[in-house]
Structure 1
Amino acid sequence: MSERKPFQQTWNSWIDEQVAKAQREGAFDNLPGTGKPLKNLDRPYEEDWWLREFLEREQLSVTPEPIDLRARITQLREEALKVTDEREARRRFVAMNALIARLNGIPQPDAMAPVAPVDVDEEIRAWRRRRGAQRNG
């Protein structure tokens, strides 16, 4: 469809011709979503609907990376405390330290203090104590 519109042809007739040609060639056959209802028709109109859908589809965030990393670090700690396998808990604490190192390597606003890495062995000892208390309690 990179051909140019002929000088003597109107825009509308040229566009109609391009659409008809694409239909004949099957360009509109088997498109994703064919036969499915349109999403979000019940939502009120928002000017940035397309941006919200793009961010959701591409799994992007508008939150600054340092804030995202801090949230992920907190999430990893909570997940590590819930797992029942010590190796998995250790893996999550190590992953937490990797995120902390990444976070501390990013320039941050003055109000955000660096995050100290965790002592993985101390975290595992605390994890064991909590696991023992849960079994006994």
Structure 2
Amino acid sequence: MTERKPTGVSFESWVDRQVRAAEAKGEFDDLPGSGKPLPKTDGKDTALAWVVNKVRAEGHDVSALLPPSLAIAKELDDLPDTLARVRREARVREIVEDLNERIRAEHRRPAGGPVLRARPLDVEETVASWREGRSR
């Protein structure tokens, strides 16, 4: 971490001085992508699109960028596929109970984004559905 900006020095000149010093030390040499052009865009890309592409390129789940209410809604949509890969009933219960707790927590939170319209799942009903899917 760099030192704090001295009082009486403009932010711009302080940052410019740090960049020049780093360049002189060679701290920007051999960076990944150095000397390569930026990827072409269709003119419709936004800063958010760039972030999403970067997150994907680094192998992370893009749903982590969603507001909690949308992430939970997506998780609910994906739940049948998620549970189809689970082998133990106890694990199914854990997943559903964890999801229900996050749904309840989101309902308690003041609205600061899209409203979560989902209600907690019936654990026994979900487990029975999981069992039925496994018996097929």
Q: Report SS of the residue matched to 2:74.
A: helix
Partner residue, 2:30 = 30
- CA distance in 2 between counterparts of 1:44 and 1:34 reads 22
Kindly provide the amino acid, as one letter, of the partner of residue 26 in structure 2: G
- CA distance in 1 between counterparts of 2:26 and 2:121 reads 58
Shift of 1:131: 1.0
Contiguous gaps of at least 5 residues in structure 1: 6-14
TM-score by length of 2: 0.57
Offset from partner CA, 1:33-74 (integer Å, 9 cap, x none): 336x44522x3224x53342135546564x654233222222
- CA distance in 1 between counterparts of 2:39 and 2:26 reads 28
Partner residue, 1:44 = 42
The structure that has the greater radius of gyration is 1
Shift of 1:127: 1.4
TM-score by length of 1: 0.57
C-alpha change, 1:39 and 1:88, in structure 2 (3 Å) is farther
Q: Report SS of the residue matched to 1:117.
A: coil
Kindly provide the amino acid, as one letter, of the partner of residue 42 in structure 2: P
Contiguous gaps of at least 5 residues in structure 2: 11-15, 56-61
Partner residue, 2:73 = 70
Partner residue, 1:100 = 103
Aligned length: 116
Kindly provide the amino acid, as one letter, of the partner of residue 44 in structure 1: D
Kindly provide the amino acid, as one letter, of the partner of residue 88 in structure 1: R
Counterpart mapping for 1:1-137 below 5 A: 19=20, 22-34=22-34, 37-41=36-40, 43-46=41-44, 49-57=46-54, 61=65, 64-108=67-111, 114-132=117-135, 134=136
Kindly provide the amino acid, as one letter, of the partner of residue 54 in structure 1: V
Identity %: 22
Kindly provide the amino acid, as one letter, of the partner of residue 33 in structure 2: G
C-alpha change, 1:126 and 1:51, in structure 2 (3 Å) is closer
